[in-house]
Structure 1
Amino acid sequence: MTATESPVISSSRDLWRQIVVLLSAVIAVVVSFLGSGAVVGTPVSEVAGGVLDSDATLVAPGGAAFAIWGVIYTGLLLLGLNQAMSWRRTDARQRRTGWWITASALLNAAWIAAVQLAWLVVSVVLLIALVAVLVIIMIRLNERPATTRYEAVVVDGTVGLYLGWACIATVANSAAAGLDAGIAATGTIALWSAVVVLVVAAVVGVVLAVGLKGRLAPAIGLGWGLAWVAVERASGIPQAPVVAIVAAAAAAVTVLAAVVVRARFGPSAVRENQAVRDF
């Protein structure tokens, strides 16, 4: 610190931010567990007559895809614990993203509650809001790269994976809401609507890759979901080979775009004297 610099002063707002972020992460995990139907409530795949099941619409990912939630929720808890450490209290990245991370966790909990109540249109609105909040967090994380590998994985990696998966979850929930409203899940119109939606998802993947300078985690989250849409439409019911091919291509484009953009921008070590590569 030079003679002209002032020390960063901790305030009660910083402490409250740390407490609230950690609590919101715990709330998101607890509500997710309760909303899974394992103890109370209805399994998500059975809500509203099963419109969210993997065989309900042409853009629903296979059941195994949802294992990613375990990774995301574990990451959220680790993120909450990481930012709660005393030396993180005045961290500029935490100050810039903490309240937004809280918003994302609470939106996630609200989304699960809406699904349990079979308020599918509301659930779609909440997912769109969640995606918007996660984009804001990622943009702010990009402004100040991580300083440790642990932070890059636990903070940037978790939020990025969360963002990518939330994008495909929005697609699947929108289709489920349409089915619940009486829109046919199969047929020519449904088939080509699914194709268009998956192409749009690939475009979103490319936009995220460019806008976030080749972040891998969002591409992995979105690519994972798209890949499981491809698997389900290739081997599940209803089968839709065209949708499977487009979904697989969309997954490949999403991941490839991030890799190409990442290679173009090069290591984050060249800017702001950072020694850690963004994830």
Structure 2
Amino acid sequence: MDQTPAKNDTLRQIVVAASALAAIIGSFIGSGAAGGTQIQNASNGALSADSTLIAPGGPAFSIWSVIYLGLVTYAVWQFLPKQKTEHRHRLLGYPVAASLLLNAAWILSVQFDLLPLSVPIIAVLLAVLAYIFVLILRHRPTNTVDAIITDGTMGLYLGWVCVATAANISAVLVAAGFNGFGLNPNAWAVFVLAVAAAVGVALAIYGKGRLAPAASLGWGLAWVAVARFSGELLSTPAAIAALVGAIVVVAFTLIIRLRTVTTSAR
């Protein structure tokens, strides 16, 4: 395998760093700090904590601070000499950059009241993150620091976007006047939350107990439960489904993780 530095490596590093900067600027705009509208208030509040039965409570979005910190750290980490020619980072660089640009594009779509456009953007973002997850599993980290910065950050990113995708699609459908084909909204909410939990279980199985995706997905589901138990839009069935989903995802992941570690130690 060629470990000789090339112009393509430098270009990749610069693209990742520039994309991270674009994502940070996008998050700054999305926070309302630049004079714009906060995401939860944009598009007539379609993405607020009480817009749909699937929406997480406001504090859930604080996880973005951790994810952005991890992404910025990764942008710096991949600039170090060893990562410049590391095959793993050669594979991950452009997909990570794509995820960062899609993140910024999603924020802009909501800011400019293009809510329907946010759905295909976040769907592609989810697909890119799933691809990154596959690459991470196929190409192991070189050391513990790489595992924390790269695997940990991308895992948190993936798990949270799973929850965000479900909430985003639900918000767009509600804003468009979708009535659920006449079915009870609580039944739809329970179904969607069950699917989200099933995705978390699938990630645990495929990832052999990777903790980061389960942590952020479980976090998101838990805050859906909080919002439905105590927010303005109350729903006991949705709250229970979200809470059970969070517990199942985290517990299942821990069980698989323990089995994986035990097997490896033999």
Range of TM-score over shorter length? over 0.9
Would the aligned equivalents of 1:10 and 1:89 in 2 still touch at CA under 8 Å? yes
Q: Deviations over 1:56-95 (max 9, x none)?
A: 1111000000000000001000000000112211111101
Residue number in structure 2 paired with 1:274: none
Q: Cα–Cα, structure 1 residues 163 and 211, in superposed 2: closer, same or farther, change >3 Å?
A: same
Question: Superposed, which structure 2 residues align to 1:47-126 within 5 Å?
Answer: 47-126=42-121
Distance in 2, Cα, partners of 1:182 & 1:188? 14
Match in the other structure for 2:204: 209
Q: CA deviation at 1:147?
A: 2.5
Distance 1:131 1:260 in 2: 25
Q: Deviations for 1:238-266, whole angstroms, at most 9, x for unmatched residues?
A: 11111100000001111112112212222
Report the alpha carbon displacement of residue 7 of structure 1 after superposing the two structures with TM.
6.1
Return the alpha-carbon distance in structure 2 between the equivalents of residues 90 and 134 of structure 1.
22
Deviations 1:136-157 (A, max 9, x none): 1111111122222221111110
Amino acid at match of 1:77: V
Shift in Å at residue 188 of structure 1?
A: 5.9
TM-score by length of 1: 0.90
Going from structure 1 to structure 2, the CA distance change for 1:13 and 1:268 (only over 3 Å counts) comes to farther
**Distance in 2 separating the partners of 1:66 and 1:117:** 20
SS at match of 1:266: helix
Structure 1 partner of 2:5? 10
Aligned residues: 265
Counterparts in 2 of 1:268 and 1:32: CA distance versus 1, 3 Å:
farther
Matches within 5 A, 1:1-279: 8-183=3-178, 189-266=184-261
Gaps of 5+ in 1: 1-5, 271-279
Name the one with the larger helix percent. 2
Instruction: Give the stretch that moved more between structures: 259-268 or 83-92.
Output: 259-268
Code of the aligned partner of 1:199: A
CA pair 267-106 structure 1, distance change in 2 beyond 3 A? farther
Shift of 1:184: 5.2
Identity over aligned pairs, percent: 45
8 Å contact from structure 1 (residues 48, 180) kept in 2: no
Q: Supply the distance in 2 between the matched residues of 1:184 and 1:45 (Cα, whole angstroms).
A: 22
Instruction: Quote how far apart the aligned CAs of 1:110 are.
Output: 0.6
Q: What SS does the corresponding residue of 1:84 show, helix, strand or coil?
A: coil
- Aligned AA (1:123): S
Query: Secondary structure at the residue paired with 1:147?
Result: coil
Between the aligned partners of 1:119 and 1:218, the Cα distance in structure 2 is 29
Q: Which amino acid aligns with 1:160?
A: G
SS at match of 2:184: helix
Deviation at 1:212, TM superposition (A): 1.4
Taking the aligned partners of 1:7 and 1:100, their CA distance within structure 2 comes to 20
Quick check: 223-232 or 114-123, which moved more? Answer: 114-123
Structure 2 gap ranges (5+): none
After superposition, give the CA deviation of every residue in 1:106-133 in whole Å (9 maximum; x if it has no partner). Answer: 0101111111112222111111111111
Provide the C-alpha distance between the structure 2 equivalents of 1:60 and 1:73, rounded to a whole number of angstroms: 21
Relative to 1, partners in 2 of residues 1:120 and 1:268: Cα closer, same or farther, differing over 3 Å? Answer: farther
